[in-house]
């Protein structure tokens, strides 16, 4: 693990306190939790990599660990991008607010100026002069009460001007801090992208070396297959999660608002998550390299690296995780016991508990170590079973 990654994680934990972002509490809360989780994972991986180097672990295990490191750096880049987006939004809103505040300040100052001019410069007899002339006791009382009202109004204007000046000063400080932070985030994002590119180059180099050694390659494929077991464990946990009943109500309201059909009614009508050819089918598959037959729980769709991955229907994101051999994975709950799974992703555009609509871009397709190049692993779960996605996608 590079010192660079450690530095950026540390700086991210500090930057969230640079200045207040009043209107982004929910997003900031998510980002802070995500960053803390990433920090723990990075520390864990650091220790693991040190141990592996000391014990001269197999090349396949080192590549798996390197792929996890790539995933973590990519997540950091996504968090930096989210933070940068929020900062830009805050800057824009603060600039608009400052313009409005300047207009309000100008109006208050003009009002106060007119009141002073009228009180001290206008010498012509007027109704105000008549009130101020203590001809009789009753008029004197009126004069006293009227002066109280005028004095209170002037105090109110002066206090408003003072409060507005303080707010403008604070907002200008926030704006300056936001601009500095935005520059920093942009630089760090560029730096991490270079780091990520180097890590991926190292992975491809090690994979090329691994392919020469059949025994090591077989071990690597076995390690990758463990990702599907991890996904099955996640599926069981999601189905047992009590929070899904609350999601059902949210999804029902979402479907009503969008006037969309429920998942069960759309067999053979769902849009494809990416345009491409199916290179691995659902069901029983013979693996000539491992010489084994396995039940494949989804399909692999060949695409191109960095192409957008879209949701097939509205729903709620329930899981964003890393799977060994399958990289970044997003799982969406569509209600009625139906879920979709998207793996081999990069540059996430969503997070857990986000509501998504059909066609929303949730991420981009990652480069893959598959023999087919960049592929999207896609699954559909329904009624407690794994379903053949090709029967549900539009023909």
With the C-alpha atoms ordered 14, 17, 23, 25, is the resulting torsion angle positive or negative? positive
Instruction: State pLDDT tens for residues 146-161.
Output: 445 555 666 676 677 6
Top-level CATH class of 224-395? mainly beta
Boundaries of every domain in the chain: 1-212, 224-395
Residue 290 has pLDDT above 60, yes or no: no
Residue 299 has pLDDT above 90, yes or no: yes
Instruction: State pLDDT tens for residues 14-44.
Output: 333 333 333 445 555 565 566 667 667 767 7
Q: Which of 171-175, 186-190, 218-222, 254-258 has the highest mean pLDDT?
A: 254-258
* pLDDT range class, residue 393, cuts 50, 70, 90: very high
Q: Higher pLDDT residue, 75 or 250?
A: 250
What is the reported pTM? 0.65
How deeply is 37 buried, as exposed, middle or buried, from its count of CB atoms within 10 A (0-12, 13-18, 19+)?
exposed
Q: Quick one: residue 210, left, alpha or beta (phi over 0 = left, psi -120 to 50 = alpha)?
A: alpha
């Amino acid at each position: 693990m590079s010192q660079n990654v450690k530095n950026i994680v540390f700086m991210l934990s500090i930057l969230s306190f640079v200045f207040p972002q009043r209107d982004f509490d929910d997003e900031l809360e998510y980002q802070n939790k995500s960053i803390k989780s990433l920090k723990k994972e990075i520390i864990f991986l650091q220790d693991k990599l040190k141990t592996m180097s000391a014990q001269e672990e197999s090349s396949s295990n080192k590549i798996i660990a390197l792929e996890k490191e790539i995933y973590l750096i990519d997540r950091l880049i996504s968090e930096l991008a989210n933070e940068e987006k929020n900062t830009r939004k805050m800057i824009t809103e603060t600039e608009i607010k400052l313009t409005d505040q300047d207009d309000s300040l100008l109006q208050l100052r003009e009002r106060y100026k007119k009141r002073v001019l009228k009180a001290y410069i206008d010498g012509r007899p007027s109704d105000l002069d008549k009130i101020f002339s203590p001809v009789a006791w009753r008029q004197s009382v009126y004069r006293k009460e009227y002066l109280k009202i005028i004095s209170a109004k002037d105090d109110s204007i002066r206090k408003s001007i003072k409060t507005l000046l303080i707010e403008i000063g604070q907002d200008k400080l926030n704006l300056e801090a936001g601009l500095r932070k935005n520059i920093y985030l942009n630089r760090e994002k560029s730096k991490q992208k270079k780091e990520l590119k180097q890590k991926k180059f190292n992975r491809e180099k090690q994979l090329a070396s691994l392919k020469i050694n059949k025994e090591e390659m077989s071990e690597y494929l076995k390690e990758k297959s463990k990702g599907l077991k991890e996904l099955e464990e996640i599926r069981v946990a999601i189905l047992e999660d009590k929070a899904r009943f609350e999601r059902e109500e949210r999804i029902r309201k979402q479907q009503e608002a969008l006037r969309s059909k429920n998942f069960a009614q759309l067999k053979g009508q769902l849009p494809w998550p990416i345009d491409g050819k199916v290179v691995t089918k659902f069901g029983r598959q013979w693996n000539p390299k491992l010489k084994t037959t396995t039940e494949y729980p989804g399909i692999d769709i060949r695409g191109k690296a960095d192409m957008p991955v879209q949701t097939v229907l509205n729903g709620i994101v329930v899981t964003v995780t890393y799977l060994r051999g399958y990289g970044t994975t997003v799982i969406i709950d569509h209600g009625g016991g139906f879920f979709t799974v998207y793996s081999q992703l990069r540059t996430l555009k969503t997070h857990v508990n986000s509501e998504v609509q059909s066609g929303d871009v949730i991420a981009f397709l990652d480069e893959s170590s598959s023999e087919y190049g960049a592929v999207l692993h896609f699954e559909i779960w329904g009624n407690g079973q794994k379903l053949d996605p090709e029967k549900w996608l539009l023909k």
